[in-house]
Amino acid sequence: MLSKGLKRKREEEEEKEPLAVDAWWLDPGHASVAQAAPAVASSSLFDLSVLKLHHSLQQSEPDLRHLVLVVNTLRRIQASMAPAAALPPVPSPPAAPSVADNLLASSDAALSASMASLLEDLSHIEGLSQAPQPLADEAPPGRSIGGAAPSLGALDLLGPATGCLLDDGLEGLFEDIDTSMYDNELWAPASEGLKPGPEDGPGKEEAPELDEAELDYLMDVLVGTQALERPPGPGR
Amino acid sequence: LKCTEKYIYYLSFQSKSDIISTVEFNHTGELLATGDKGGRVVIFQREQESKNQVHRRGEYNVYSTFQSHEPEFDYLKSLEIEEKINKIRWLPQQNAAYFLLSTNDKTVKLWKVSERDKRPEGYNLKDEEGRLRDPATITTLRVPVLRPMDLMVEATPRRVFANAHTYHINSISVNSDYETYMSADDLRINLWNFEITNQSFNIVDIKPANMEELTEVITAAEFHPHHCNTFVYSSSKGTIRLCDMRASALCDRHTKFFEEPEDPSNRSFFSEIISSISDVKFSHSGRYIMTRDYLTVKVWDLNMENRPIETYQVHDYLRSKLCSLYENDCIFDKFECVWNGSDSVIMTGSYNNFFRMFDRNTKRDVTLEASRENSKPRAILKPRKVCVGGKRRKDEISVDSLDFSKKILHTAWHPSENIIAVAATNNLYIFQDKVN
């Protein structure tokens, strides 16, 4: 991603100003914010983040790191602006009560308007299909797979993506970039045990054991998809 | 190296078109490879020192240039795949030829760089221009002989490792067994055997069952320099995981987990972004790892997971500017970091074409600038200083005058000598320390 270079030549007298301005962006729990934190400041940061998210999702292939960081930041901002809203639990610092009330009062309308328009825009984006498909789609006839088949030890048992973009709020934003359709992975119905989520020390659970029926089903899928694959051509 | 020793500006190579995207010395330091945004690789070779000019060490001159990756179009997804070289890693030299791995977002390639200084002459069935002879005209047979020719350096692609990454490759790392290497993208790490291109083993997979649950990505990965079963990978949440491939086929359970608790006094909306690790490097000894996040470089002891043993501030004056840097996306810049050969000094880049060195023993640090205006051949680099507030001294530069479009993301340090390579946008600078 290209940087938008910022070359600023300021008079030396003005040097102190930027430092003060930036204090507004600090967490509401921070001491300096309690002094002068116009509600519009946080709302602007929210808008900026929403804009970045929108722009990122419009890329044909979003930079996943950038996207994840912006979404996580947006969650933080949103949580601090509207702690009573129906959002997924996000760890946020306790806001100074007066500051939080001010933010809520003045930014509620702006907040909901921004979110609504963003979600509406995103629902129009022609994204990738949300439903995972069998491996056969990955190899149309005539095109050999020159690359990796993940080892059986790395079976990714996917459930079909569910939920409507509008229902899930921020979470739903990732549905558009779900590339499970194109992954080299096997499809299995939602009843299969799900692969554990992102690496997370204390919260990580054991993957459920597969019973015999599920194992049989898996084998059928494996055999079925292998029959559809064409072996790679010689000389690769 | 004493960190306060001044560097001599040595050689500047100006790439004509493209931004340099990776820089890497080979294991002896004889060769220096650069990759650029246009998919080209340029290799420099150090000249042999001549007896006439003992005081002058060998300079680096262009040895080979080749197009490693071309832009591709993925028809299935309707996506263009950039040809930009994300990383180059050398293999240790095992014969006369040199081997390196270069990668763009999706495909890793193994290149062989070899010299040809002889060519066969005197074929029976072909004439000197290569045209076929009528066999009926051949009355005697001769054995072709090798005749000397002008030195030619050729680069040939020996392996192409494709179609194994759904997401963008950010790292490659050659294993100390010299038989395998790994490639890491945002969500997965694959293990390859150099001889096998149509199969790789997935050793780390952090993709959640529902992409909606995605909160963290892999940002860098590297093999341990001596233990071929051990590797580390860093994340966008500022954590490092050390994994042992002997433990299980899929290394989703880490052996060690390195994370520093957040400093509550420095908390902001941007805490997570600035904690995202952009580079992780083992020390040459294998005892430490170094990580780079937006504002600091940290050194970790492998035996202590709960906090780094050393933290160095690269440009702390940016801490109060995070909102502006978020606005212009600079806060997402990915800086790399490197060790010197003896692991006593670490180096990383910053803005305004500044780069920083930290001496771990003396705790002294220096800021230097890579720019043509300030560097003349054999001139000593002057340390630079950024003025944060108050009265600015004559040679200092104020924070607000920094040019954020001039960023040094990629640097390299010669494996045994005090020679460094610094990539400043499309310019490559090579500096060495003063020779008496």
The single residue listed with the structure tokens 């200084």 is: B117
Residues A205-230 have pLDDT tens digits of: 444 555 677 777 777 776 665 555 54
Is residue A60 included in any domain, yes or no?
A: yes
Task: Please name the residues in contact with A226: beta carbons below 8 A apart, sequence gap of 6 or more.
Answer: none
DSSP state of B357: E
**For residues A76-105, average pLDDT:** 50
Interchain proximity B236–A171, CB inside 8 Å: no
Is residue A56 included in any domain, yes or no?
A: yes
Interchain proximity B190–A66, CB inside 8 Å: no
Residue B48 class from Cβ within 10 Å (0-12 exposed, 13-18 middle, 19+ buried)? exposed
pLDDT of residue A112: 43
Interchain proximity B213–A197, CB inside 8 Å: yes
CB atoms within 10 A of CB B135: 8
Is residue A75 included in any domain, yes or no?
A: yes
DSSP labels, B180-209? EEEEEESSEEEEEETT-SS--EEEEE---S
Q: Which of A52-61, A103-112, B175-184, B361-370 has the lowest mean pLDDT?
A: A103-112
Among the partner-chain residues B163, B186, B405, the one whose CB lies closest to the CB of A64 is B186
DSSP labels, B274-339? HH---EEEE-TTSSEEEEE-SSEEEEEETT--SS-SEEEES-GGGGGGHHHHHHTTGGG----EEE
pLDDT of residue A209: 56
pLDDT of residue B257: 96
Interchain proximity A196–B333, CB inside 8 Å: no
Pairing of β B397-398 and β B386-387:
parallel
User: What distance, in Å, lies between the first and last C-alpha atoms of chain B?
Assistant: 14
Interchain proximity A146–B198, CB inside 8 Å: yes
DSSP state of B250: S
For residue A185, pLDDT beyond 90 = no
- How far off is chain B from A28, nearest CA to CA, in Å? 9
Structural domains of chain A, count: 1
pLDDT of residue A36: 35
Among the partner-chain residues B235, B333, B398, the one whose CB lies closest to the CB of A15 is B398
Average pLDDT, chain A: 52
Tell me the C-alpha distance between B219 and B294, whole Å.
13
For residue A64, pLDDT beyond 60 = yes
- How far off is chain A from B54, nearest CA to CA, in Å? 44
Residue B110 β-bridge partners: B101, B159
Using only C-alpha atoms, chain A has a radius of gyration, in whole angstroms, of: 24
Q: Which two tokens stand for residue A53?
A: 């998210």
Interchain proximity B197–A146, CB inside 8 Å: yes
A19 vs B210, which has greater pLDDT? B210
Among the partner-chain residues A8, A77, A198, the one whose CB lies closest to the CB of B400 is A8
Pairing of β B410-413 and β B310-313:
unpaired
For residue A168, pLDDT beyond 50 = no
The reported pTM is 0.72
Tell me the C-alpha distance between B18 and B402, whole Å.
23
Is residue A85 included in any domain, yes or no?
A: no
Is residue A49 included in any domain, yes or no?
A: yes
CB atoms within 10 A of CB B206: 23
Tell me the C-alpha distance between B359 and B4, whole Å.
9
Give the domain extent around A75: 44-80
Interchain proximity A14–B201, CB inside 8 Å: no
Q: Which two tokens stand for residue A19?
A: 């430092």
Chain B environment of A32 (Cβ under 8 Å)? none
With CA atoms as reference, the chain B residue closest to A75 would be: B269
Q: Say what the alpha-carbon torsion angle A201, A203, A204, A209 is, to the nearest 10 degrees.
A: 160
- How far off is chain B from A207, nearest CA to CA, in Å? 12
Question: Is residue A58 very low, low, confident or very high in pLDDT (cuts 50, 70, 90)?
Answer: confident
Q: What is the arrangement of strands in the sheet containing B240-244, beginning at the earlier edge strand?
A: B218-223, B230-235, B240-244, B256-258
By the 8 A CB rule, do B351 and B294 touch?
Answer: no
Q: Which residues of chain B have pLDDT under 50?
A: 1-5, 436
Domains defined for chain B, CATH in brackets: 1-111+160-430 (2.130.10.10)
Q: Which of A54-63, A173-182, B31-40, B179-188 has the lowest mean pLDDT?
A: A173-182
pLDDT of residue B135: 86
Is residue A129 included in any domain, yes or no?
A: no
Cα angle A196-B268-A2, degrees, rounded to a multiple of 5: 80
Is residue A223 included in any domain, yes or no?
A: no
Beta strands of B137-187 (E only): which ranges? 145-161, 169-174, 180-185
For residue A35, pLDDT beyond 50 = no
Pairing of β B218-223 and β B31-36:
unpaired
How many contacts does A have with B, using Cβ atoms within 8 A? 219
For residue A61, pLDDT beyond 70 = yes
Is residue A23 included in any domain, yes or no?
A: no
CB atoms within 10 A of CB A210: 15
Residues A117-164 have pLDDT tens digits of: 444 444 444 333 333 333 333 333 333 333 333 322 222 332 233 334
Measure CA B435 to chain center: 27
Tell me the C-alpha distance between A41 and A37, whole Å.
7
Among the partner-chain residues B79, B206, B273, the one whose CB lies closest to the CB of A69 is B273
DSSP labels, A182-206? GSS--B--TTSPPPP-S--TTT--P
Percent of the residues in chain A that have a pLDDT greater than 90, as a whole number: 10
A146 vs A78, which has greater pLDDT? A78
Tell me the C-alpha distance between A233 and A228, whole Å.
15
**For residues A183-194, average pLDDT:** 44
pLDDT of residue B32: 96
CB atoms within 10 A of CB B40: 20
